[in-house]
Structure formats: structure tokens, C-alpha cells
């Protein structure tokens, strides 16, 4: 079993979920966020930290043998908001890992790195970036930092381009993008257990009949997602109005993010 897994962004949606579901996957879960986190229980440590503070991040990573990096701005915002956690923060994290024995990093990237691809296109790991906003651009920056630290120093990472990680698919687009919580957990286990990881991009999606993304290149990880959004298709067809074919949500893989303005910085 692993000794200590660090979860950044532990107060957020996915952090709160993984805090429960990764319980017992390591002797200690170190939970960190800039926002308040409910008090530590047995087998947990709460370490508040602003990812933009390099010295604090260095201390945060000390003694960890795996990192699930979720912390940051998770939607489209102005550049000044995105800059702190998603640019400076991701650099701080990789540099801190380098100074602390290079624990494997699972970086929560996003489908918004490729959001302007049309929904009729099937993508594999060679697909060109087509970010749908500054948020997507910041995740590309994170992927690039991971690649740099791999080539220069041998730091291993999984760059998980998460689709939509929710308890169940909620709309028509999620019939393709849904990433079940259990499939995310099994991916984390597979990444930490794999004999070799390298710096590997993985599409963070379940085994959806209507999916757009091909993970063949990452088969060596031995990860087998089990859930399929198609199980909810009939319910979604019955309860959620189908968007028009020309609406962004039905046209582009990034959905409504492609319609967002560039929000002005203060």
C-alpha cells in the first residue's frame, strides 16, 4: 500500500468525492486546499496551502509518494484568476515534486484542451490541441510543464483529460463525456500501480457507447473503465430537452465553454 497520497483541491467537488473513495488506498491521505476543508479524521492530514506560494507547496509535497492534483480554477474565468493556481501553481507543484523524490502525479487536465473539435470527430492521443478558452489554455500549460519535467528529470505523470465527472450523466453531451466516479478511482489505482507510467495522457471518460475519445495508446496501464453513460440514455431522452444541432453544446466537444467570452481581468 502507498504511504501518503496528496490530494490538492481537496475541498472541491472531485476532492470531496475522492477523499471518501480513496480512503484506505494509502496509509495517509494528505488533503490540501486554499478553501476550508472539514477536519482530518483517522488516516488523514489537512494541510491548507495556496498553490501560488512556491515555498508552501514545497513543504506540502514533502513525504508524499503520490499526488492527485485537482487544485485550481475549474471553469472559464479571467486570466488574472486563472494565472495563480493553474499556471504558477502547476509549476510550483512540479518543482516541489522534483525536490521531493518525484512522486507520481495525476494531473487533472480537461476536455477543454480540445474543446473546439467537432463532436463528429474521434480523437486519439495525437489530436491537436483546440482549447475553448483560457481555462483550456491553462490546462495545456500544465500538460506542457509535466512533459518538460518528464523529459528533463524523469518525473512521471498521468495527464487525465477529464470529460465530466459527476455521479451520473446529466445531459445529452455527457452521454459522450461522462466519467463515472468509480472509473476515476480505478484509473488512479492503475496509474499508481503501473510498473511504468512515463508521461501519459489519458482520456478521463467511462466506456461510453457514444464516446469520442480513444485510449488505445494507454492500454499498457491495464485500466479498464466499467461504466457506460448509455445506461442513462433513455432517462436523459425522456427528461432533458435535446439541444438544436447548431447549438454549441451539440456541436463542439467542449460544449457551452466554446460560447464563453474572454472574461476581462480586473
Q: Which of 70, 159, 190, 191 binds ligand NAI (CB under 6 A)?
A: 70
Four-CA torsion 22, 26, 30, 35, nearest 10 degrees: 0
Taking CB under 6 A as the criterion, which residues in 16-75 touch ligand 15L? 74-75
Number of residues that bind ligand 15L (CB under 6 A): 8
Cβ nearer to ligand NAI, comparing 53 with 214: 53
Going by C-alpha positions, the residue among 266, 124, 111, 99 that lies closest to residue 177 is 111
- Under the binding rule (CB under 6 A), the answer on residue 239 touching ligand NAI is no
Cβ nearer to ligand NAI, comparing 70 with 218: 70
Going by C-alpha positions, the residue among 91, 228, 226, 106 that lies closest to residue 161 is 106
Residue whose CB is nearest to ligand NAI in the complex, by number: 12
Partner interacting with residue 89 (select from ligand NAI, ligand 15L, none; CB below 5-8 Å by kind): ligand NAI
Partner interacting with residue 9 (select from ligand 15L, ligand NAI, none; CB below 5-8 Å by kind): ligand NAI
Q: What is the largest CA-CA distance in the chain?
A: 53
User: SS3 for 248?
Assistant: helix
**Least distance between ligand NAI and beta carbon 69 (Å):** 7
Answer yes or no: are the C-beta atoms of 150 and 157 closer than 8 Å.
yes
Q: Which of 32, 92, 110, 200 binds ligand 15L (CB under 6 A)?
A: 110
**Least distance between ligand 15L and beta carbon 167 (Å):** 13
- Under the binding rule (CB under 6 A), the answer on residue 180 touching ligand 15L is no
**Least distance between ligand 15L and beta carbon 113 (Å):** 9
Site string (158-187) toward ligand NAI, x via CB under 6 A: ----x-xx----------------------
Answer yes or no: are the C-beta atoms of 112 and 254 closer than 8 Å.
yes
Contacts of 17 (CB under 8 A, 6+ apart): 165, 181
Q: How far apart are CA 210 and CA 237, in angstroms?
A: 14
What is the DSSP track for 31-94? EE-SS--PPP-TTEEE----TT-HHHHHHHHTT-SEEEE--S--S---HHHHIIIIIIIHHHHH
Interface with ligand NAI by CB under 6 A: which residues? 9, 11-15, 33-35, 50-52, 70-74, 84-85, 89, 108, 110, 162, 164-165
Amino acid at each position: 500500500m502507498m504511504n501518503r497520497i496528496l490530494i490538492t483541491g481537496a475541498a472541491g467537488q472531485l476532492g470531496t468525492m475522492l477523499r471518501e473513495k480513496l480512503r484506505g488506498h494509502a496509509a495517509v491521505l494528505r488533503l490540501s486546499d486554499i478553501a476550508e476543508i472539514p477536519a482530518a479524521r483517522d488516516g488523514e492530514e489537512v494541510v491548507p496551502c495556496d498553490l501560488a506560494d512556491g515555498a508552501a507547496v514545497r513543504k506540502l509535497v514533502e513525504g508524499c509518494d503520490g499526488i492527485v492534483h485537482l487544485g485550481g480554477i475549474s471553469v472559464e474565468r479571467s486570466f488574472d484568476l486563472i494565472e495563480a493556481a493553474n499556471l504558477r501553481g502547476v509549476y510550483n507543484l512540479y518543482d516541489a515534486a522534483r525536490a521531493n523524490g518525484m512522486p507520481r502525479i495525476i494531473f487533472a487536465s480537461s476536455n477543454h484542451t480540445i474543446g473546439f473539435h467537432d463532436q463528429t470527430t474521434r480523437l486519439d492521443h495525437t489530436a491537436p490541441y483546440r482549447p475553448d478558452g483560457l481555462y483550456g489554455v491553462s490546462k495545456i500549460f500544465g500538460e506542457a510543464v509535466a512533459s518538460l519535467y518528464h523529459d528533463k528529470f524523469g518525473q512521471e505523470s498521468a495527464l487525465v483529460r477529464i470529460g465530466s465527472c459527476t455521479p451520473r450523466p446529466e445531459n445529452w453531451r455527457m452521454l459522450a463525456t461522462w466519467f463515472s466516479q468509480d472509473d476515476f478511482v480505478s484509473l488512479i489505482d492503475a496509474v499508481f500501480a503501473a510498473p511504468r507510467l512515463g508521461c501519459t495522457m489519458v482520456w478521463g471518460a467511462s466506456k461510453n457507447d457514444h464516446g469520442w475519445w480513444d485510449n488505445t495508446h494507454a492500454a499498457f496501464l491495464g485500466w479498464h473503465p466499467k461504466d457506460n453513460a448509455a445506461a442513462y440514455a433513455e432517462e436523459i431522452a425522456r427528461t432533458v430537452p435535446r439541444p438544436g444541432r447548431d447549438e454549441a453544446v451539440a456541436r463542439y466537444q467542449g460544449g457551452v465553454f466554446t460560447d464563453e467570452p474572454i472574461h476581462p481581468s480586473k
